[in-house]
Structure 1
């Protein structure tokens, strides 16, 4: 069975999220150095078509919603221009002790950039 397992899409989203953060000049390791971690709190995938292992899946990532304590990213996955999956992942912001962080206070530049990116997508 050469069909891509549904579980792989979650991994694809993680890789796309890491790449997206690097593209906006906030790589995940920089967040961690600032004392902030951002674990996944929710994932939602709507599978539209099957893919196979040789398929090249292109992923577009965007900021869907941001608040002072939570970020939701949206993903659109396509193969040869055809939609194969629409998904979202939500993440909270925590300090190293596991306490909720107010991103506006802890990392105001990052928070402001996320707000601007969200506005661009509306």
Structure 2
């Protein structure tokens, strides 16, 4: 999981709060998806298509698959960087993530999520991403193609 082939990326810094930790001050494994969510929302805000805009456009985008590989432990008060990389958009949203220690760059976790569009009125899963997503991504796709051409 890396930035290679990413259409768009964004990273956030999070300081590990006490309430996310077990009695040994290590982040409980079930909290990592919340960190992914923070980075995913910020990534989607870059294209003005966060969950409120998704809902307004008539689609929900539930996660249908999540893969997480725990490499090291994050601990109470540690600052982490959570980087999100949009890798696919044509038929689904596939986002890869890398969580690293903010001070050292040491990899802590890598993950990926897959989301599919569901029409809110019919409740039917869409096998092709809705046109609204293409519209939101157009400026970024053009920039990505320009960079590849150079």
How well do the aligned residues superpose, as a CA RMSD in angstroms?
A: 2.4
Within-5 A mapping of 1:81-100:
81-96=105-120, 97-100=122-125
Unaligned ranges ≥5, structure 2: 1-23
CA distance in 2, matches of 1:113, 1:42: 28
Q: Deviations over 1:22-66 (max 9, x none)?
A: 123222211110101100001101111111021111111111222
CA distance in 2, matches of 1:38, 1:117: 25
Within-5 A mapping of 1:1-40:
1-40=24-63
1:67 deviates by 2.3
Within-5 A mapping of 1:1-122:
1-68=24-91, 70-79=92-101, 80=103, 81-96=105-120, 97-101=122-126, 102-105=128-131, 107-110=133-136, 112=138
TM-score, normalised on structure 2?
0.69
Greater Rg by CA: 2
> Paired residue for 2:4?
none
1:75 deviates by 0.6
TM-score, normalised on structure 1?
0.84
Unaligned ranges ≥5, structure 1: none
